[in-house]
Structure 1
Protein backbone atom coordinates (compact mmCIF):
# COMPACT_ATOMS: atom_id res chain seq x y z
CA UNK A 1 0.00 0.00 0.00
CA UNK A 2 2.81 2.39 0.88
CA UNK A 3 4.64 1.42 -2.30
CA UNK A 4 1.55 2.15 -4.43
CA UNK A 5 1.21 5.54 -2.79
CA UNK A 6 4.84 6.36 -3.55
CA UNK A 7 4.37 5.36 -7.18
CA UNK A 8 1.28 7.56 -7.42
CA UNK A 9 3.25 10.50 -6.06
CA UNK A 10 6.07 9.85 -8.53
CA UNK A 11 3.63 9.60 -11.45
CA UNK A 12 1.93 12.83 -10.40
CA UNK A 13 5.30 14.60 -10.32
CA UNK A 14 6.23 13.18 -13.75
CA UNK A 15 2.89 14.24 -15.26
CA UNK A 16 3.25 17.72 -13.79
CA UNK A 17 6.67 18.09 -15.42
CA UNK A 18 5.39 16.73 -18.73
CA UNK A 19 2.44 19.10 -18.58
CA UNK A 20 4.69 22.10 -18.00
CA UNK A 21 7.07 21.03 -20.79
CA UNK A 22 4.20 20.35 -23.17
CA UNK A 23 2.51 23.67 -22.48
CA UNK A 24 5.77 25.58 -22.90
CA UNK A 25 6.62 23.73 -26.13
CA UNK A 26 3.16 24.35 -27.56
CA UNK A 27 3.44 28.04 -26.72
CA UNK A 28 6.90 28.24 -28.31
CA UNK A 29 5.75 26.60 -31.55
CA UNK A 30 2.54 28.64 -31.80
CA UNK A 31 4.22 31.98 -31.15
CA UNK A 32 7.22 31.09 -33.36
CA UNK A 33 5.11 30.34 -36.42
CA UNK A 34 2.90 33.37 -35.78
CA UNK A 35 5.84 35.79 -35.43
CA UNK A 36 7.69 34.31 -38.40
CA UNK A 37 4.56 34.45 -40.55
CA UNK A 38 3.93 38.08 -39.65
CA UNK A 39 7.48 39.43 -39.80
CA UNK A 40 9.71 36.98 -41.69
CA UNK A 41 7.83 34.84 -44.19
CA UNK A 42 4.98 37.11 -45.23
CA UNK A 43 5.89 38.97 -48.44
CA UNK A 44 4.13 42.23 -47.65
CA UNK A 45 5.85 42.22 -44.29
CA UNK A 46 9.23 40.89 -45.31
CA UNK A 47 12.27 41.37 -43.08
CA UNK A 48 13.51 44.08 -45.43
CA UNK A 49 11.11 46.31 -43.49
CA UNK A 50 12.97 45.31 -40.32
CA UNK A 51 16.69 45.78 -40.61
CA UNK A 52 19.41 44.26 -38.48
CA UNK A 53 19.22 47.09 -35.94
CA UNK A 54 15.51 46.42 -35.44
CA UNK A 55 16.15 42.75 -34.73
CA UNK A 56 18.93 43.71 -32.32
CA UNK A 57 16.35 45.73 -30.39
CA UNK A 58 14.19 42.61 -30.14
CA UNK A 59 16.74 41.32 -27.62
CA UNK A 60 15.37 43.83 -25.11
CA UNK A 61 11.86 42.45 -25.57
CA UNK A 62 12.55 38.74 -25.27
CA UNK A 63 14.98 39.21 -22.35
CA UNK A 64 12.45 41.34 -20.44
CA UNK A 65 9.52 39.00 -21.12
CA UNK A 66 11.56 35.89 -20.33
CA UNK A 67 12.87 37.43 -17.10
CA UNK A 68 9.34 38.35 -16.02
CA UNK A 69 8.09 34.83 -16.69
CA UNK A 70 11.06 33.32 -14.86
CA UNK A 71 10.52 35.59 -11.85
CA UNK A 72 6.86 34.59 -11.64
CA UNK A 73 7.90 30.93 -11.85
CA UNK A 74 10.35 31.33 -8.98
CA UNK A 75 8.22 33.52 -6.72
CA UNK A 76 6.01 31.18 -4.67
CA UNK A 77 6.72 32.65 -1.23
CA UNK A 78 3.21 34.12 -0.69
CA UNK A 79 1.58 30.79 -1.48
CA UNK A 80 4.02 28.95 0.78
CA UNK A 81 3.30 31.40 3.60
CA UNK A 82 -0.45 31.00 3.22
CA UNK A 83 -0.15 27.21 3.11
CA UNK A 84 2.09 27.28 6.20
CA UNK A 85 -0.42 29.50 7.99
CA UNK A 86 -3.24 27.14 7.00
CA UNK A 87 -1.28 24.16 8.33
CA UNK A 88 -0.64 26.03 11.58
CA UNK A 89 -4.31 26.87 12.02
CA UNK A 90 -5.28 23.30 11.21
CA UNK A 91 -2.84 22.11 13.87
CA UNK A 92 -4.42 24.49 16.37
CA UNK A 93 -7.85 23.25 15.32
CA UNK A 94 -6.71 19.67 15.94
CA UNK A 95 -5.68 20.71 19.48
CA UNK A 96 -9.08 22.33 20.05
CA UNK A 97 -10.79 19.12 18.88
CA UNK A 98 -8.66 17.14 21.26
CA UNK A 99 -9.41 19.60 24.07
CA UNK A 100 -13.14 19.34 23.35
CA UNK A 101 -12.98 15.52 23.45
CA UNK A 102 -11.10 15.61 26.74
CA UNK A 103 -13.52 18.18 28.22
CA UNK A 104 -16.45 15.97 27.26
CA UNK A 105 -14.71 12.94 28.74
CA UNK A 106 -14.05 14.74 32.04
CA UNK A 107 -17.80 15.16 32.56
CA UNK A 108 -18.17 11.41 33.01
CA UNK A 109 -14.88 10.39 34.60
CA UNK A 110 -14.44 8.70 37.97
CA UNK A 111 -14.59 11.96 39.91
CA UNK A 112 -18.21 12.35 38.84
CA UNK A 113 -19.45 8.82 38.23
CA UNK A 114 -17.57 7.17 41.14
CA UNK A 115 -17.23 9.77 43.87
CA UNK A 116 -15.52 8.77 47.10
CA UNK A 117 -17.57 8.21 50.22
CA UNK A 118 -15.57 10.83 52.07
CA UNK A 119 -16.64 13.40 49.53
CA UNK A 120 -20.31 12.52 50.03
CA UNK A 121 -20.03 12.62 53.84
CA UNK A 122 -18.25 15.93 53.67
CA UNK A 123 -20.98 17.44 51.54
CA UNK A 124 -23.56 19.68 53.04
CA UNK A 125 -26.51 17.74 51.57
CA UNK A 126 -27.01 14.55 49.72
CA UNK A 127 -28.39 16.62 46.80
CA UNK A 128 -24.90 17.35 45.56
CA UNK A 129 -24.22 13.64 45.30
CA UNK A 130 -27.46 13.24 43.42
CA UNK A 131 -26.28 15.90 40.99
CA UNK A 132 -23.11 13.92 40.39
CA UNK A 133 -25.19 10.87 39.57
CA UNK A 134 -27.42 12.88 37.27
CA UNK A 135 -24.44 14.47 35.53
CA UNK A 136 -22.81 11.07 35.11
CA UNK A 137 -25.94 9.67 33.47
CA UNK A 138 -26.35 12.75 31.25
CA UNK A 139 -22.78 13.14 30.04
CA UNK A 140 -21.88 9.47 29.79
CA UNK A 141 -23.68 9.28 26.45
CA UNK A 142 -21.30 11.84 24.92
CA UNK A 143 -18.11 10.35 26.28
CA UNK A 144 -15.67 9.92 23.35
CA UNK A 145 -14.27 6.50 22.65
CA UNK A 146 -10.74 7.97 22.56
CA UNK A 147 -10.61 11.22 24.56
CA UNK A 148 -7.05 12.01 23.41
CA UNK A 149 -7.86 11.68 19.71
CA UNK A 150 -7.62 14.76 17.51
CA UNK A 151 -10.68 13.55 15.58
CA UNK A 152 -13.74 15.12 17.12
CA UNK A 153 -16.32 12.59 18.29
CA UNK A 154 -19.66 12.98 16.55
CA UNK A 155 -21.55 12.40 19.81
CA UNK A 156 -19.94 15.50 21.29
CA UNK A 157 -20.78 17.61 18.26
CA UNK A 158 -24.36 16.37 18.19
CA UNK A 159 -24.84 17.12 21.88
CA UNK A 160 -23.29 20.56 21.70
CA UNK A 161 -25.37 21.50 18.65
CA UNK A 162 -28.71 20.14 19.82
CA UNK A 163 -28.51 20.89 23.56
CA UNK A 164 -28.24 24.22 25.33
CA UNK A 165 -25.45 23.50 27.75
CA UNK A 166 -25.56 27.02 29.05
CA UNK A 167 -29.06 26.41 30.48
CA UNK A 168 -28.01 23.35 32.45
CA UNK A 169 -27.73 24.37 36.09
CA UNK A 170 -25.64 22.30 38.45
CA UNK A 171 -24.83 23.46 41.94
CA UNK A 172 -22.04 20.92 42.34
CA UNK A 173 -18.80 22.88 41.82
CA UNK A 174 -17.03 19.98 40.14
CA UNK A 175 -19.76 19.55 37.56
CA UNK A 176 -20.15 23.29 37.07
CA UNK A 177 -16.43 23.75 36.53
CA UNK A 178 -16.26 20.96 33.99
CA UNK A 179 -19.33 22.20 32.17
CA UNK A 180 -17.69 25.60 31.87
CA UNK A 181 -14.58 23.90 30.55
CA UNK A 182 -16.71 22.12 27.94
CA UNK A 183 -18.31 25.42 26.94
CA UNK A 184 -14.91 27.12 26.57
CA UNK A 185 -13.57 24.21 24.53
CA UNK A 186 -16.64 24.32 22.29
CA UNK A 187 -16.32 28.08 21.74
CA UNK A 188 -12.59 27.76 21.04
CA UNK A 189 -13.33 24.98 18.59
CA UNK A 190 -15.97 27.02 16.71
CA UNK A 191 -13.72 30.06 16.58
CA UNK A 192 -10.82 27.99 15.33
CA UNK A 193 -13.05 26.37 12.69
CA UNK A 194 -13.86 29.86 11.38
CA UNK A 195 -10.17 30.81 11.44
CA UNK A 196 -9.24 27.63 9.55
CA UNK A 197 -11.99 28.23 7.03
CA UNK A 198 -10.76 31.78 6.44
CA UNK A 199 -7.14 30.59 6.17
CA UNK A 200 -8.22 27.82 3.79
CA UNK A 201 -10.12 30.30 1.60
CA UNK A 202 -7.17 32.69 1.55
CA UNK A 203 -4.70 29.92 0.74
CA UNK A 204 -7.00 28.60 -1.99
CA UNK A 205 -7.35 32.04 -3.58
CA UNK A 206 -3.60 32.62 -3.42
CA UNK A 207 -2.96 29.19 -4.91
CA UNK A 208 -5.45 29.75 -7.72
CA UNK A 209 -4.01 33.17 -8.52
CA UNK A 210 -0.42 31.98 -8.48
CA UNK A 211 -1.35 28.86 -10.43
CA UNK A 212 -2.86 31.10 -13.09
CA UNK A 213 0.21 33.33 -12.99
CA UNK A 214 2.44 30.29 -13.16
CA UNK A 215 0.80 28.99 -16.30
CA UNK A 216 0.66 32.53 -17.67
CA UNK A 217 4.38 32.83 -17.03
CA UNK A 218 4.90 29.60 -18.97
CA UNK A 219 3.16 31.28 -21.90
CA UNK A 220 5.40 34.32 -21.43
CA UNK A 221 8.48 32.11 -21.41
CA UNK A 222 7.23 30.39 -24.54
CA UNK A 223 6.68 33.76 -26.22
CA UNK A 224 10.17 34.93 -25.21
CA UNK A 225 11.78 31.75 -26.58
CA UNK A 226 9.73 31.98 -29.78
CA UNK A 227 10.70 35.64 -30.19
CA UNK A 228 14.36 34.72 -29.80
CA UNK A 229 14.05 31.91 -32.37
CA UNK A 230 12.20 34.21 -34.78
CA UNK A 231 14.96 36.80 -34.35
CA UNK A 232 17.59 34.23 -35.28
CA UNK A 233 15.50 33.10 -38.25
CA UNK A 234 15.09 36.70 -39.47
CA UNK A 235 18.80 37.43 -39.08
CA UNK A 236 19.67 34.29 -41.05
CA UNK A 237 17.20 35.29 -43.77
CA UNK A 238 18.59 38.82 -43.88
CA UNK A 239 22.12 37.46 -44.18
CA UNK A 240 21.09 34.98 -46.85
CA UNK A 241 19.23 37.66 -48.83
CA UNK A 242 22.22 39.99 -48.52
CA UNK A 243 24.57 37.31 -49.85
CA UNK A 244 22.10 36.47 -52.61
CA UNK A 245 21.79 40.12 -53.62
CA UNK A 246 25.56 40.48 -53.59
CA UNK A 247 25.95 37.42 -55.79
CA UNK A 248 23.26 38.69 -58.14
CA UNK A 249 24.90 42.13 -58.21
CA UNK A 250 28.28 40.58 -58.95
CA UNK A 251 26.68 38.50 -61.71
CA UNK A 252 25.08 41.60 -63.21
CA UNK A 253 28.37 43.48 -63.03
CA UNK A 254 30.14 40.51 -64.60
CA UNK A 255 27.60 40.34 -67.42
CA UNK A 256 27.88 44.09 -67.96
CA UNK A 257 31.67 43.87 -68.05
CA UNK A 258 31.44 40.91 -70.44
CA UNK A 259 29.12 42.85 -72.73
CA UNK A 260 31.40 45.87 -72.61
CA UNK A 261 34.39 43.66 -73.34
CA UNK A 262 32.59 42.08 -76.26
CA UNK A 263 31.66 45.51 -77.58
CA UNK A 264 35.25 46.70 -77.19
CA UNK A 265 36.53 43.60 -78.96
CA UNK A 266 34.01 44.13 -81.76
CA UNK A 267 35.02 47.79 -82.07
CA UNK A 268 38.67 46.83 -82.04
CA UNK A 269 38.04 44.21 -84.68
CA UNK A 270 36.16 46.76 -86.78
CA UNK A 271 39.03 49.25 -86.31
CA UNK A 272 41.50 46.55 -87.27
CA UNK A 273 39.45 45.87 -90.43
CA UNK A 274 39.37 49.56 -91.28
CA UNK A 275 43.10 49.78 -90.60
CA UNK A 276 43.66 46.82 -92.93
CA UNK A 277 41.61 48.54 -95.64
CA UNK A 278 43.58 51.75 -95.16
CA UNK A 279 46.86 49.82 -95.38
CA UNK A 280 45.68 48.25 -98.64
CA UNK A 281 44.80 51.68 -100.00
CA UNK A 282 48.21 53.02 -99.00
CA UNK A 283 49.93 50.08 -100.64
CA UNK A 284 47.88 50.68 -103.78
CA UNK A 285 48.72 54.40 -103.79
CA UNK A 286 52.41 53.65 -103.27
CA UNK A 287 52.26 51.18 -106.15
CA UNK A 288 50.57 53.71 -108.34
CA UNK A 289 53.13 56.32 -107.30
CA UNK A 290 55.93 53.98 -108.12
CA UNK A 291 54.28 53.25 -111.46
CA UNK A 292 53.92 56.93 -112.25
CA UNK A 293 57.47 57.80 -111.20
CA UNK A 294 59.73 55.02 -112.46
CA UNK A 295 63.23 55.50 -111.01
CA UNK A 296 65.07 54.17 -114.08
CA UNK A 297 63.17 56.48 -116.41
CA UNK A 298 63.82 59.39 -114.07
CA UNK A 299 67.58 58.63 -114.03
CA UNK A 300 67.66 58.51 -117.80
CA UNK A 301 65.91 61.87 -117.98
CA UNK A 302 68.32 63.41 -115.50
CA UNK A 303 71.28 62.00 -117.52
CA UNK A 304 69.98 63.45 -120.79
CA UNK A 305 69.36 66.78 -119.11
CA UNK A 306 72.90 66.80 -117.69
CA UNK A 307 74.32 66.03 -121.17
CA UNK A 308 72.27 68.79 -122.72
CA UNK A 309 73.44 71.25 -120.08
CA UNK A 310 77.08 70.33 -120.59
CA UNK A 311 76.67 70.56 -124.36
CA UNK A 312 75.09 74.03 -124.47
CA UNK A 313 76.90 75.49 -121.45
CA UNK A 314 79.64 77.28 -123.37
CA UNK A 315 77.25 78.53 -126.01
CA UNK A 316 75.08 80.13 -123.47
CA UNK A 317 78.10 81.54 -121.60
CA UNK A 318 79.54 83.10 -124.79
CA UNK A 319 76.19 84.61 -125.68
CA UNK A 320 75.94 86.13 -122.27
CA UNK A 321 79.47 87.60 -122.54
CA UNK A 322 78.70 89.07 -125.94
CA UNK A 323 75.53 90.54 -124.70
CA UNK A 324 77.35 92.12 -121.79
CA UNK A 325 79.98 93.75 -124.18
CA UNK A 326 77.30 95.10 -126.43
CA UNK A 327 75.46 96.58 -123.55
CA UNK A 328 78.70 98.09 -122.25
CA UNK A 329 79.44 99.94 -125.47
CA UNK A 330 75.98 101.14 -125.96
Structure 2
Protein backbone atom coordinates (compact mmCIF):
# COMPACT_ATOMS: atom_id res chain seq x y z
CA UNK A 1 0.00 0.00 0.00
CA UNK A 2 1.51 3.31 -1.07
CA UNK A 3 1.54 6.60 0.76
CA UNK A 4 -1.88 8.28 0.60
CA UNK A 5 -1.60 11.91 -0.59
CA UNK A 6 -4.34 14.55 -0.71
CA UNK A 7 -3.28 17.14 -3.29
CA UNK A 8 -5.29 20.34 -2.85
CA UNK A 9 -5.56 22.94 -5.63
CA UNK A 10 -7.63 26.15 -5.77
CA UNK A 11 -8.28 25.60 -9.50
CA UNK A 12 -11.30 23.46 -10.38
CA UNK A 13 -11.68 20.59 -12.81
CA UNK A 14 -11.28 21.61 -16.44
CA UNK A 15 -9.34 24.76 -15.53
CA UNK A 16 -6.25 25.61 -17.58
CA UNK A 17 -4.82 27.63 -14.69
CA UNK A 18 -1.25 26.86 -13.71
CA UNK A 19 -2.26 25.51 -10.29
CA UNK A 20 -4.47 22.85 -11.89
CA UNK A 21 -1.80 21.90 -14.42
CA UNK A 22 0.75 21.54 -11.61
CA UNK A 23 -1.63 19.43 -9.53
CA UNK A 24 -2.38 17.13 -12.48
CA UNK A 25 1.30 16.70 -13.35
CA UNK A 26 2.32 16.15 -9.73
CA UNK A 27 -0.40 13.56 -9.25
CA UNK A 28 1.18 11.54 -12.05
CA UNK A 29 4.69 11.95 -10.66
CA UNK A 30 3.60 11.02 -7.14
CA UNK A 31 1.87 7.92 -8.48
CA UNK A 32 5.13 7.02 -10.24
CA UNK A 33 6.71 7.15 -6.76
CA UNK A 34 4.13 4.62 -5.58
CA UNK A 35 1.76 7.06 -3.87
CA UNK A 36 -2.02 6.89 -3.96
CA UNK A 37 -3.18 10.40 -4.83
CA UNK A 38 -6.50 12.24 -4.72
CA UNK A 39 -6.61 15.69 -6.34
CA UNK A 40 -9.01 17.90 -4.37
CA UNK A 41 -10.38 21.05 -6.01
CA UNK A 42 -12.71 23.81 -4.82
CA UNK A 43 -15.73 21.84 -6.04
CA UNK A 44 -14.98 18.93 -3.68
CA UNK A 45 -16.11 18.64 -0.07
CA UNK A 46 -13.87 17.64 2.81
CA UNK A 47 -14.79 13.99 2.35
CA UNK A 48 -12.68 14.01 -0.81
CA UNK A 49 -9.55 14.35 1.33
CA UNK A 50 -9.93 10.72 2.40
CA UNK A 51 -8.30 8.10 0.19
CA UNK A 52 -9.96 4.68 0.08
CA UNK A 53 -12.08 5.77 3.05
CA UNK A 54 -9.06 6.55 5.22
CA UNK A 55 -7.37 9.85 6.19
CA UNK A 56 -4.37 10.87 4.06
CA UNK A 57 -0.79 10.24 5.14
CA UNK A 58 0.28 13.56 3.59
CA UNK A 59 -1.50 16.75 2.53
CA UNK A 60 0.00 18.94 -0.21
CA UNK A 61 -1.72 22.29 -0.82
CA UNK A 62 -1.00 24.56 -3.75
CA UNK A 63 -1.21 28.28 -2.87
CA UNK A 64 -0.80 29.50 0.70
CA UNK A 65 -3.46 32.21 0.41
CA UNK A 66 -6.13 30.63 -1.80
CA UNK A 67 -5.90 27.27 -0.01
CA UNK A 68 -5.68 28.83 3.46
CA UNK A 69 -9.04 27.48 4.70
CA UNK A 70 -8.26 23.97 3.43
CA UNK A 71 -4.81 24.02 5.04
CA UNK A 72 -6.26 24.91 8.45
CA UNK A 73 -9.10 22.41 8.04
CA UNK A 74 -6.57 19.63 7.37
CA UNK A 75 -4.48 20.74 10.34
CA UNK A 76 -7.50 20.44 12.60
CA UNK A 77 -8.95 17.26 11.05
CA UNK A 78 -5.67 15.33 10.73
CA UNK A 79 -3.32 16.70 13.42
CA UNK A 80 -0.80 13.91 12.94
CA UNK A 81 -0.67 14.25 9.14
CA UNK A 82 2.27 16.24 7.69
CA UNK A 83 1.32 19.22 5.54
CA UNK A 84 3.18 20.69 2.56
CA UNK A 85 2.35 24.18 1.26
CA UNK A 86 3.44 25.09 -2.27
CA UNK A 87 4.19 28.81 -2.68
CA UNK A 88 3.06 30.71 -5.77
CA UNK A 89 4.21 34.07 -7.08
CA UNK A 90 1.16 35.92 -5.77
CA UNK A 91 1.67 34.27 -2.38
CA UNK A 92 5.21 35.55 -1.97
CA UNK A 93 5.14 38.79 -3.92
CA UNK A 94 1.58 40.00 -3.18
CA UNK A 95 -0.38 38.26 -0.43
CA UNK A 96 2.61 38.11 1.91
CA UNK A 97 2.20 41.90 2.17
CA UNK A 98 -1.52 42.46 1.53
CA UNK A 99 -2.72 39.56 3.75
CA UNK A 100 0.25 38.85 6.06
CA UNK A 101 -1.78 37.10 8.78
CA UNK A 102 -3.31 34.60 6.34
CA UNK A 103 0.03 34.04 4.57
CA UNK A 104 1.98 33.42 7.75
CA UNK A 105 -0.75 31.22 9.27
CA UNK A 106 -0.61 28.93 6.23
CA UNK A 107 3.19 28.77 6.42
CA UNK A 108 3.14 28.10 10.16
CA UNK A 109 0.75 25.19 9.58
CA UNK A 110 3.17 23.56 7.11
CA UNK A 111 5.80 20.96 7.92
CA UNK A 112 7.48 21.69 4.57
CA UNK A 113 7.29 24.52 2.06
CA UNK A 114 7.88 24.15 -1.68
CA UNK A 115 9.19 26.92 -3.91
CA UNK A 116 9.32 26.60 -7.68
CA UNK A 117 12.43 28.70 -8.41
CA UNK A 118 15.89 29.17 -6.94
CA UNK A 119 15.53 32.80 -5.80
CA UNK A 120 12.45 32.34 -3.63
CA UNK A 121 14.45 32.34 -0.40
CA UNK A 122 15.37 35.99 -1.03
CA UNK A 123 11.77 37.01 -0.24
CA UNK A 124 10.66 34.43 2.31
CA UNK A 125 10.68 35.29 6.06
CA UNK A 126 13.88 33.91 7.55
CA UNK A 127 12.02 31.88 10.16
CA UNK A 128 10.59 29.64 7.46
CA UNK A 129 13.73 29.04 5.39
CA UNK A 130 14.59 25.78 7.13
CA UNK A 131 11.33 24.28 5.81
CA UNK A 132 11.88 25.32 2.20
CA UNK A 133 12.48 22.84 -0.61
CA UNK A 134 12.84 23.87 -4.27
CA UNK A 135 11.16 21.75 -6.94
CA UNK A 136 11.53 22.90 -10.54
CA UNK A 137 8.50 22.30 -12.74
CA UNK A 138 9.24 19.97 -15.61
CA UNK A 139 8.41 19.97 -19.30
CA UNK A 140 8.46 17.49 -22.16
CA UNK A 141 10.31 18.02 -25.46
CA UNK A 142 8.32 19.22 -28.43
CA UNK A 143 7.17 16.45 -30.80
CA UNK A 144 9.68 15.68 -33.58
CA UNK A 145 7.21 16.62 -36.32
CA UNK A 146 6.33 20.01 -34.85
CA UNK A 147 5.90 22.66 -37.57
CA UNK A 148 9.03 24.75 -38.23
CA UNK A 149 9.12 28.53 -37.75
CA UNK A 150 7.47 30.53 -40.52
CA UNK A 151 9.46 32.80 -42.86
CA UNK A 152 7.03 35.64 -43.48
CA UNK A 153 6.91 36.69 -39.83
CA UNK A 154 9.34 36.54 -36.94
CA UNK A 155 6.78 35.32 -34.42
CA UNK A 156 7.26 36.16 -30.76
CA UNK A 157 5.11 34.13 -28.40
CA UNK A 158 3.43 35.37 -25.21
CA UNK A 159 1.76 32.46 -23.40
CA UNK A 160 -0.24 33.06 -20.25
CA UNK A 161 -3.59 34.30 -19.06
CA UNK A 162 -4.29 38.00 -19.42
CA UNK A 163 -4.17 39.38 -15.89
CA UNK A 164 -2.36 42.17 -14.10
CA UNK A 165 0.54 40.12 -12.71
CA UNK A 166 1.55 39.04 -16.21
CA UNK A 167 1.71 42.57 -17.70
CA UNK A 168 0.32 40.76 -20.74
CA UNK A 169 0.27 43.55 -23.33
CA UNK A 170 3.84 44.75 -22.80
CA UNK A 171 5.15 42.89 -25.87
CA UNK A 172 2.31 44.27 -27.99
CA UNK A 173 3.18 47.80 -26.89
CA UNK A 174 6.83 47.16 -27.73
CA UNK A 175 6.11 46.39 -31.41
CA UNK A 176 3.94 49.41 -32.11
CA UNK A 177 5.35 51.77 -34.74
CA UNK A 178 8.25 49.56 -35.80
CA UNK A 179 9.75 50.18 -39.25
CA UNK A 180 7.72 48.66 -42.07
CA UNK A 181 10.57 46.30 -42.92
CA UNK A 182 10.43 44.59 -39.50
CA UNK A 183 9.00 41.06 -39.51
CA UNK A 184 8.28 41.02 -35.75
CA UNK A 185 4.80 39.83 -34.77
CA UNK A 186 3.41 39.08 -31.31
CA UNK A 187 1.24 35.98 -30.88
CA UNK A 188 -0.61 36.01 -27.55
CA UNK A 189 -2.15 32.83 -26.14
CA UNK A 190 -4.27 32.71 -23.01
CA UNK A 191 -7.71 33.51 -21.72
CA UNK A 192 -8.62 36.93 -20.32
CA UNK A 193 -9.20 37.17 -16.58
CA UNK A 194 -12.18 39.45 -17.16
CA UNK A 195 -14.01 41.45 -19.84
CA UNK A 196 -11.74 44.45 -19.35
CA UNK A 197 -8.66 42.47 -20.34
CA UNK A 198 -10.49 40.93 -23.30
CA UNK A 199 -11.51 44.40 -24.52
CA UNK A 200 -7.96 45.66 -24.08
CA UNK A 201 -6.59 42.80 -26.19
CA UNK A 202 -9.21 43.27 -28.91
CA UNK A 203 -8.60 47.03 -28.97
CA UNK A 204 -4.87 46.41 -29.29
CA UNK A 205 -5.43 44.06 -32.23
CA UNK A 206 -7.62 46.64 -33.93
CA UNK A 207 -4.90 49.27 -33.81
CA UNK A 208 -1.75 47.15 -33.94
CA UNK A 209 -1.29 44.93 -37.02
CA UNK A 210 1.72 43.26 -35.39
CA UNK A 211 -0.38 41.79 -32.56
CA UNK A 212 -2.69 38.75 -32.56
CA UNK A 213 -4.55 37.50 -29.50
CA UNK A 214 -5.78 33.94 -30.04
CA UNK A 215 -7.41 33.45 -26.63
CA UNK A 216 -7.38 30.33 -24.51
CA UNK A 217 -5.77 27.40 -26.31
CA UNK A 218 -5.37 23.69 -25.69
CA UNK A 219 -1.97 22.47 -24.56
CA UNK A 220 -1.13 20.89 -27.90
CA UNK A 221 -1.88 24.17 -29.70
CA UNK A 222 0.39 26.06 -27.31
CA UNK A 223 3.15 23.56 -28.02
CA UNK A 224 2.61 23.99 -31.75
CA UNK A 225 3.09 27.73 -31.41
CA UNK A 226 6.20 27.18 -29.30
CA UNK A 227 7.65 25.22 -32.21
CA UNK A 228 6.77 27.95 -34.71
CA UNK A 229 7.94 30.93 -32.67
CA UNK A 230 11.46 32.35 -32.77
CA UNK A 231 11.26 33.97 -29.32
CA UNK A 232 9.12 34.04 -26.21
CA UNK A 233 8.43 37.04 -23.98
CA UNK A 234 7.72 36.66 -20.24
CA UNK A 235 6.87 40.18 -19.10
CA UNK A 236 5.39 39.44 -15.66
CA UNK A 237 5.62 41.72 -12.65
CA UNK A 238 5.69 38.64 -10.41
CA UNK A 239 6.12 34.90 -10.96
CA UNK A 240 6.46 31.95 -8.65
CA UNK A 241 8.40 29.93 -11.22
CA UNK A 242 6.39 29.83 -14.44
CA UNK A 243 6.15 26.41 -16.08
CA UNK A 244 6.14 28.11 -19.48
CA UNK A 245 9.77 29.10 -18.84
CA UNK A 246 10.62 25.45 -18.19
CA UNK A 247 8.86 24.52 -21.43
CA UNK A 248 10.78 27.15 -23.38
CA UNK A 249 14.10 25.92 -22.02
CA UNK A 250 13.36 22.29 -22.91
CA UNK A 251 12.18 23.40 -26.37
CA UNK A 252 15.29 25.53 -26.94
CA UNK A 253 13.07 28.59 -27.41
CA UNK A 254 14.95 31.80 -26.51
CA UNK A 255 13.21 33.94 -23.90
CA UNK A 256 13.14 37.68 -23.28
CA UNK A 257 12.18 37.93 -19.62
CA UNK A 258 11.42 40.66 -17.10
CA UNK A 259 14.17 40.93 -14.51
CA UNK A 260 12.31 39.54 -11.49
CA UNK A 261 13.27 36.83 -8.96
CA UNK A 262 10.81 34.31 -10.42
CA UNK A 263 12.53 34.50 -13.81
CA UNK A 264 16.10 34.75 -12.52
CA UNK A 265 15.42 31.74 -10.32
CA UNK A 266 14.80 29.65 -13.45
CA UNK A 267 17.03 31.21 -16.10
CA UNK A 268 20.01 32.11 -13.90
CA UNK A 269 21.62 35.39 -12.92
CA UNK A 270 23.88 35.49 -16.00
CA UNK A 271 21.08 35.11 -18.56
CA UNK A 272 21.43 37.66 -21.38
CA UNK A 273 17.74 38.14 -22.19
CA UNK A 274 16.43 40.20 -19.27
CA UNK A 275 14.77 43.60 -19.48
CA UNK A 276 13.53 45.91 -16.68
CA UNK A 277 9.96 45.32 -15.54
CA UNK A 278 7.33 47.27 -17.53
CA UNK A 279 10.04 48.96 -19.63
CA UNK A 280 8.53 49.04 -23.11
CA UNK A 281 11.51 50.77 -24.71
CA UNK A 282 13.99 48.25 -23.30
CA UNK A 283 11.89 45.32 -24.51
CA UNK A 284 11.59 46.94 -27.95
CA UNK A 285 15.38 47.28 -28.10
CA UNK A 286 15.87 43.60 -27.26
CA UNK A 287 13.27 42.51 -29.79
CA UNK A 288 14.90 44.58 -32.52
CA UNK A 289 18.31 43.24 -31.54
CA UNK A 290 16.97 39.69 -31.77
CA UNK A 291 15.69 40.42 -35.27
CA UNK A 292 18.92 42.08 -36.40
CA UNK A 293 21.50 39.85 -34.67
CA UNK A 294 21.17 36.08 -35.16
CA UNK A 295 24.16 35.65 -32.86
CA UNK A 296 22.19 37.19 -29.98
CA UNK A 297 19.35 34.72 -30.50
CA UNK A 298 21.82 31.85 -30.74
CA UNK A 299 23.37 32.92 -27.44
CA UNK A 300 19.97 32.93 -25.74
CA UNK A 301 19.17 29.52 -27.24
CA UNK A 302 22.39 28.05 -25.88
CA UNK A 303 21.63 29.49 -22.46
CA UNK A 304 18.10 28.11 -22.24
CA UNK A 305 19.26 24.70 -23.46
CA UNK A 306 21.95 24.69 -20.76
CA UNK A 307 19.16 25.10 -18.17
CA UNK A 308 16.96 22.38 -19.69
CA UNK A 309 18.28 19.46 -17.55
CA UNK A 310 16.84 21.20 -14.47
CA UNK A 311 13.36 20.73 -15.92
CA UNK A 312 13.35 17.01 -16.74
CA UNK A 313 10.36 15.04 -15.34
CA UNK A 314 12.81 12.79 -13.50
CA UNK A 315 14.29 15.82 -11.72
CA UNK A 316 10.83 17.03 -10.68
CA UNK A 317 9.92 13.55 -9.44
CA UNK A 318 13.12 13.40 -7.40
CA UNK A 319 12.31 16.83 -5.97
CA UNK A 320 8.91 15.62 -4.81
CA UNK A 321 10.58 12.59 -3.22
CA UNK A 322 12.86 14.97 -1.26
CA UNK A 323 9.83 16.90 -0.05
CA UNK A 324 8.19 13.71 1.19
CA UNK A 325 11.41 12.68 2.93
CA UNK A 326 11.62 16.13 4.58
CA UNK A 327 8.23 15.33 6.17
CA UNK A 328 9.67 12.15 7.65
CA UNK A 329 7.81 9.87 5.25
CA UNK A 330 8.81 7.29 2.65
CA UNK A 331 6.84 7.23 -0.65
TM interval, short-chain normalised:
under 0.3
Pair member with larger Rg: 1
Per the normalisation by structure 1, the TM-score is: 0.23
Per the normalisation by structure 2, the TM-score is: 0.23
Relative to its length, the structure with more helix (as a share) is 1
Relative to its length, the structure with more strand (as a share) is 2
Which one scores higher on RCO, CA 8 angstroms, separation ≥ 6?
1
